[in-house]
Structure 1
């Protein structure tokens, strides 16, 4: 059942958590948390997203808190480390926060950096991982087709597992995939799935070898499971830089997938300086446990957002509620 807006507003707790390093252009992560009948849940669309897009995140939050999770097929989820844009000399220190992770996702194509910087960062990652470690790069749709081809040929010496969203459009991804067929670097689609009016189009166009899926942006675990079944492509479950509450929903999705051949991008709590859980979801031996997290009331108080930010999130929740659920005001 769908909770009323008043129920959500009454239970809402808004937190503000600094990041260890600037990531995705932000230094602080904000989130709205609320406890439902099935546990705590999170609503945390990025600030630049409009209300129509953020409404998907609210549907996912309500699903996670007001309905049972899909049946789990596994108890632990292998996860990758995430490497922000750092100097090569800092790579080892960042990766130390991801104990046991055999896979690293390296952010590339960041504004203000060069391909030379990216190559040096990826090479330092390969040196830290050794020859058997897995490296994937994520350009967040920053390259043109020509830039992507040039960059991936330069980065290919690091034996890449895949390249995530190297270009912005589905047509560009399809063209790039043909151009670099000789490199045998798979293309993963992220924004072309979660920001598309039709998330299936990238698969129909033959523009990707695998999909990156995220619970909140795609509107909930059940919608993602349906999408995965309909595309028939392998997937990586990734985070949206959530607290442990949001990460737990991603872990439960990964646990419910029939097949899971790639390590998942769900270890991003390690990028935050603090967390709301008594036992934050950070990697142990390269994996995260499946299950709910216990929220620490003291952490909610310690991380409470400033009054003006609380007002922002409450207003945003109110606007998105109407888009997500219309006139629904059912209480549980």
Structure 2
């Protein structure tokens, strides 16, 4: 089926420089329609229904600027470009405090997002890493933490009291549910603990992302191009909720990061650094010139194209290619069924 939709596909497998989100290597696909390449890289454990949403983003991206044709006949690019330069944060995985500080200094970014609540870490480790990152940023830098929904409300309240002294810009998805985020936000306010809350999974995995605003569960929303189904939906959610928004990555190659930058360029306003400076977490890339921030910014620039030399290094083996092509067929069928 995919041969009827895409002119070319490529399955990549890239090692991570350090384990991140319990991932040691990143797999996904590049897909081409005409001369436009896009990325489709839902995480391996995601069910087809969720992976199909990611595929809608790839179809939207491949359709941009082209004449309409099924199954992307409603996806031709029609979102504006409000800016061409986006501030970004450096993402700090679960590494030693010294390594964390080195990553921050080398990045040139004035905002850092530190992963916390990892199963292989503990609170004292997280606090040591935060102290090191704060020292590298200096008092004027912006410091965020991301817990990926790992904490209960009680535990989150305890941990954030300990972390508040680092002057956090926000904590991303401290608890799993929207209701828990709302309760935690109220508790932090009552305790005069100055930590804002950002909602990530509560937006991209929710049947009704509007509940974040309705329940007053967050101060910031995190939007991801692939998981939400494309930049048009990112813009729609940002406009509808009317909250400060951050466009973040899903550990993509430079092809997927560019699509995220395009979404950030389309937001009506952008007052916080984006989480799109993650290509450095990958040991390789699919382009000759990876999209890596300079002085804390990424430019939209021309749409990147994969290179034969880069692709040769990251080509997945035959077994993984078959697995991904089978998955693509199943997800394409789901997307096409939605449009019937």
Q: Deviations over 1:200-245 (max 9, x none)?
A: 1111111111100000000111111111111111100000000000
Aligned 1:1-332 pairs, distance under 5 A:
5-8=2-5, 11-37=8-34, 39-68=36-65, 69=77, 70-98=79-107, 100-181=108-189, 182-291=192-301, 292-326=303-337
**Which sits farther off after the overlay, 216-225 or 8-17?**
8-17
Counterpart-to-counterpart distance in 1, 2:261 and 2:49: 25
Does the Cα contact within 8 Å between 1:38 and 1:66 map onto a contact in 2?
no
Q: How many residue pairs get matched? A: 325
Q: Deviations over 1:31-72 (max 9, x none)?
A: 100122462100000011100011000000000011244221
Does the Cα contact within 8 Å between 1:97 and 1:270 map onto a contact in 2?
no
Secondary structure of residue in 2 paired with 1:147: helix
Cα distance change, pair 189–38 in 1 and its aligned pair in 2 (3 A)? farther
Counterpart-to-counterpart distance in 1, 2:178 and 2:143: 23
List runs of 5+ in structure 1 lacking aligned partners: none
Secondary structure of residue in 2 paired with 1:217: helix
Post-superposition offset of 1:92:
2.5
Counterpart-to-counterpart distance in 2, 1:328 and 1:218: 17
Counterpart-to-counterpart distance in 1, 2:156 and 2:266: 34
Higher relative contact order (CA 8 A, sep 6+): 1
Cα distance change, pair 316–122 in 1 and its aligned pair in 2 (3 A)? same
Counterpart-to-counterpart distance in 2, 1:9 and 1:67: 14
Q: Deviations over 1:74-116 (max 9, x none)?
A: 1111100000011112112322452x21000000000021111
List runs of 5+ in structure 2 lacking aligned partners: 66-76
Counterpart-to-counterpart distance in 1, 2:319 and 2:305: 27
**Which sits farther off after the overlay, 36-45 or 222-231?**
36-45
Does the Cα contact within 8 Å between 1:45 and 1:57 map onto a contact in 2?
yes
Residue in 1 that maps onto 2:68: none
Counterpart-to-counterpart distance in 2, 1:327 and 1:137: 37
Does the Cα contact within 8 Å between 1:177 and 1:187 map onto a contact in 2?
yes
Counterpart-to-counterpart distance in 1, 2:31 and 2:177: 35
RMSD: 1.5
Under a length normalisation based on structure 1, what TM-score does the superposition of the two structures give?
A: 0.95
Post-superposition offset of 1:8:
4.3
Secondary structure of residue in 1 paired with 2:285: coil
Counterpart-to-counterpart distance in 1, 2:64 and 2:85: 22
Cα distance change, pair 299–328 in 1 and its aligned pair in 2 (3 A)? farther
